[in-house]
Amino acid sequence: MSVPAPHAVDFTTVSTAGLESSPVAPALAGLRANEARYFHTKYGHVFTTEPAGGGEPGADLAAWVADLLATERDLVIASPPLEATTFVVEGTSWTYVFYASGLSINVLYGLEPGSKRAVGFKLSDGMEVPPELADKFKFARQRSKLAGTIRGSFFIIKGEHTPPRT
């Protein structure tokens, strides 16, 4: 059995590959492509993702994010993870997990002591706010050519967490 290789996210031709089981797959694919375009434009970074279900290569990334959410805010995301990625650009570790519900969670974790560390939530166009987040966060709206209307929120990380694969 071969392990699926990470695949580069194309932000010019948006694809639902890897996200097909999501009820909002086209919107989630647009959200993923929006992130890929951001990192390409700002840092020249090629945004790649890998499967994140149980036993898949990205499952450790989804588990790390789940542990961070539980430790920091006593949060448990009910939706299964579909894809994940982690990388470092300009001294900051970024970890993303894309969930079947249409939720995207990113962890921005500055590697130097005292640098920025936060968790961001983005909701795909057309999805409801997950019950586990509804009473705890307010979501602001932004428009994206690739993703339609994105609703987002965040919180600052207070504890120390060792980023994955750095």
pLDDT tens per residue across span 43-94: 999 999 999 987 888 999 999 999 999 999 999 999 999 999 999 999 999 9
Residue 163 lies in a domain: no
Exposure of 126 in the CB half-sphere (CA atoms within 13 A): 15
Residue 36 lies in a domain: yes
Residue 164 lies in a domain: no
Residue 67 lies in a domain: yes
Alpha helices in 55-166 (DSSP H): 59-73, 131-134
- Give the C-alpha separation, 109 to 118, whole Å: 7
pTM surpassing 0.75?
A: yes
Residue 85 lies in a domain: yes
Q: How confident is the model at residue 2 (pLDDT cuts 50, 70, 90)?
A: very low
Residue 165 lies in a domain: no
Residue 148 lies in a domain: yes
- Give the C-alpha separation, 126 to 17, whole Å: 19
**Helix, strand, coil percent values for the chain (each to nearest 5):** 25, 30, 45
Tell me how crowded residue 1 is: count the other CB atoms within 10 A of its CB: 2
- Domain count for the chain: 1
Domain interval for residue 52: 7-156
